[in-house]
Structure 1
Amino acid sequence: MSNYIHYRDYTGSIEFSEEDAVFHGKVIGIKNMISFEGDSAKALTEDFHNAVDEYLELCEKSGKQPEKPFKGSFNVRIQPELHRQAALAASARGLSLNAFVEYAIRHNVNQP
């Protein structure tokens, strides 16, 4: 079972509150807070779609560009010594630091 739901290039988390007997979630990968909920999978899906559609309509009406999730760049802070080691390892392999980090992430994401 997936803990995510997808619609129009947006991804939402899925959680369940046993106390409230409701599924809920929020759109991940953007700074704006977009949340949704439902008491069934169908209701959760509908509310997620409505929340994304309302966000996009609001952006259009206000003339703002909607945030695009997962643009392909992010800032990572690591210890200076690890930064140095990664840069040297990348150089030894003839890779840029970005390519080295992308490889490391890809390798770890694809692990079971």
Structure 2
Amino acid sequence: MSTLEHKGYIGLIELDAEAGLFHGEVINTRDVLTFQGRTVEELKTAFSDTVEDYEDWCRARGKTPEKPYSGKLLLRIKPDLHRALVAAAARSGKSLNSFVSDSLEKVAS
């Protein structure tokens, strides 16, 4: 599967070969936002238009658009792993938050 990004929103793309259409859905909001296009350019335009329309719709109703991510992540891990991460962070001279964030950035890139 492929993705697109606009203003921090991520669109997950699928091809419906039978219909000759690309279908997409914004995956990082609880609101249901979908888009489609017959060409890649149509799809990109439809995706950005969907995000813009969503923001306009929210403004018109006095609603704050759901932000894709806050930057806060709550994890539940085993106490032994938590202890080991704190020790590893201390050995590297970092806070636990910085250590975990740096480690996750390495995995994600």
TM range (shorter): 0.7 to 0.9
Any gaps of 5 or more consecutive residues in structure 2? none
TM norm structure 1: 0.80
Which digits, 9 at most, give the CA deviation of each residue in 1:35-83, with x for residues without a partner?
A: 1112221221222122112211111011111122233222223233222
Matched residue, 1:4: 3
Instruction: Supply the distance in 2 between the matched residues of 1:80 and 1:27 (Cα, whole angstroms).
Output: 35
Q: Does structure 1 residue 87 correspond to structure 2 residue 86?
A: yes
Instruction: Supply the distance in 2 between the matched residues of 1:76 and 1:31 (Cα, whole angstroms).
Output: 20
Matches within 5 A, 1:7-22: 7-22=6-21
Amino acid at match of 2:92: R
Matched residue, 1:48: 47
Amino acid at match of 2:107: N
Counterparts in 2 of 1:76 and 1:15: CA distance versus 1, 3 Å = farther
Query: Pairwise CA RMSD of aligned residues?
Result: 2.1
Matched residue, 1:103: 102
- Cα distance, 1:19 vs structure 2: 4.0
Instruction: Supply the distance in 2 between the matched residues of 1:20 and 1:76 (Cα, whole angstroms).
Output: 41
Q: Does structure 1 residue 36 correspond to structure 2 residue 35?
A: yes
Instruction: Supply the distance in 1 between the matched residues of 2:40 and 2:87 (Cα, whole angstroms).
Output: 48
TM norm structure 2: 0.81
Any gaps of 5 or more consecutive residues in structure 1? none
Which digits, 9 at most, give the CA deviation of each residue in 1:75-97, with x for residues without a partner?
A: 22323322221122112222211
